A = this chain, B = another copy of it.
Amino acid sequence: VDPAVARAAREHQDRLTKPRGSLGQLEDVSVRLAALAGRVPAPVPASPAVAVFVGDHGVHAQGVSPWPREVTGQMVANFLAGGAVVNALARQAGAVVAVVDVGMSIEASAVIGAMPGLDRRRVRAGTGDITVEAAMTRDEALAAVAAGAAVADGLLRDGHDLLVTGDMGIANTTPSAALIATLLGADPAVVTGRGTGVDDATLARKVDVVRRAVARAAGDGVGAGDPLGVLASVGGLEHAATVGFVLAAAAARVPVLLDGVIACSSALVAAALVPDARAAMFAGHRSVEPGASAALAALGLVPLLDLGMRLGEGSGGVLAVGVLQAAARVLAEVATFDSAGVTDKNAADGLGAGDA
């Protein structure tokens, strides 16, 4: 992105009829959107789309979640029927929901059979158990990244101009924590959370599982300097697809709203592969999963919402769509002091109009 465009956006923001800085984070978002689009003001995103990437996890066998793997499939059926939270929030935001199987298990996919509406791009039927083996091969990781990128490209071709990450996969906060611990060199105890709300005993087991996965990957010679290797070793198929989805949005200079810890861990991989991709990333919300905050801090992203959410599905990303659109709209539509004939005290003393 061009720093001159960001500067021009900031200057335009400072001429709007309001005290400088009085819109806080909305101002920063509007400047970042302009820099990403390469023009001031940026277009106001009009057609959001959320992609829910679905995968299952071999590490489920370690007892990190009380939910059976079939629930992944049951929830996919729920998404396709429009009955899940992400569907309700997407209707509120005027967003479409794409549901993409990149890695459902046999058990999960048996639940839904030939149900129409599912975008079938399965790379493999669930990952390996990351405590004892790599989640997938490097080729499989690349194939899932490509699948996610293809989904983004399709949505962009259909005219969508704001992408939102979503995910479904029983046990998927465990590989998320493993990705974050490995990429940031963080203590698994610090970045592993309760997911759906597991009890203390399960949390302790989960931390141990993440620790073993991180150690196993290190033993296999996989480290933070090889982000694709880390993704294949301790990640998930929905994580890999999200990496591709984010990178494709960034390549098209289209904003992508990140949801929770699955998205944040995937965004870490994407940023490690293509540092400039961060310019397209916007954090929808702060998940209560501790790994999400660690990843956001590392990415330098400040979330738009902080509502104590921990659902996944893309719910926290799609809920933030209106806030991101509002930021763009302010820069695009608000009158300047000159055009509105409002006395500007900004120039004199760094203040601005509005209530004081």
Contact = CB atoms under 8 A, between A and B. Distances in A.
Interface of A: 16-26, 64-68, 70-71, 74-75, 77-78, 81, 83-85, 87-89, 91-93, 167-173, 195-199, 262, 288, 304-313, 315, 319, 322-323, 325-326, 329-330, 332-335, 339-343, 345, 348-356
B92 A24 contact: no
Contact of A307 (B26, B65, B197, B345): B26
Given A23-B311, A198-B356, 6 more contacts: A24-B288, A66-B345, A68-B343, A78-B340, A83-B340, A198-B351
Contacts of A288: 24
Contacts of A311: 18-19, 22-23, 354-355
Nearest to A167: B355
B65 A24 contact: no
Contacts of A343: 67-68, 70-71, 74
Contacts of A18: 84-85, 311
- Nearest 9 CB-CB pairings of A with B: A24-B308, A83-B335, A65-B356, A322-B322, A312-B355, A19-B196, A196-B356, A22-B311, A25-B307
Contacts of A19: 196-197, 310-311
Contacts of A77: 340-341
Nearest to A261: B355
B88 A330 contact: yes
25 contacts: A17-B85, A23-B85, A23-B315, A24-B307, A65-B356, A66-B349, A67-B356, A70-B343, A74-B343, A75-B354, A77-B340, A77-B341, A81-B335, A81-B340, A87-B333, A88-B326, A88-B329, A88-B330, A88-B332, A91-B329, A92-B322, A93-B326, A172-B356, A173-B355, A311-B355
Contacts of A199: 349-350
Among A25, A342, A348, the one with the most B-chain Cβ atoms within 10 Å of its Cβ is A342
How many copies of this chain does the complex contain?
2
Contacts of A81: 335, 340
Contact of A88 (B319, B333, B352): B333
Contacts of A171: 355-356
B348 A22 contact: no
Given A71-B353, A305-B305, A311-B18, A83 B196 contact: no
A352 B195 CA distance: 10
A354 B35 CA distance: 35
A210 to B, nearest CB: 14
Nearest to A349: B66
A140 B306 CA distance: 41
A278 B18 CA distance: 30
Contact of A172 (B89, B319, B355): B355
Contacts of A332: 88
Contact of A335 (B84, B345, B353): B84
Contact of A89 (B167, B173, B330): B330
Contacts of A169: 355
Contact of A67 (B24, B168, B339, B353): B353
A342 to B, nearest CB: 4
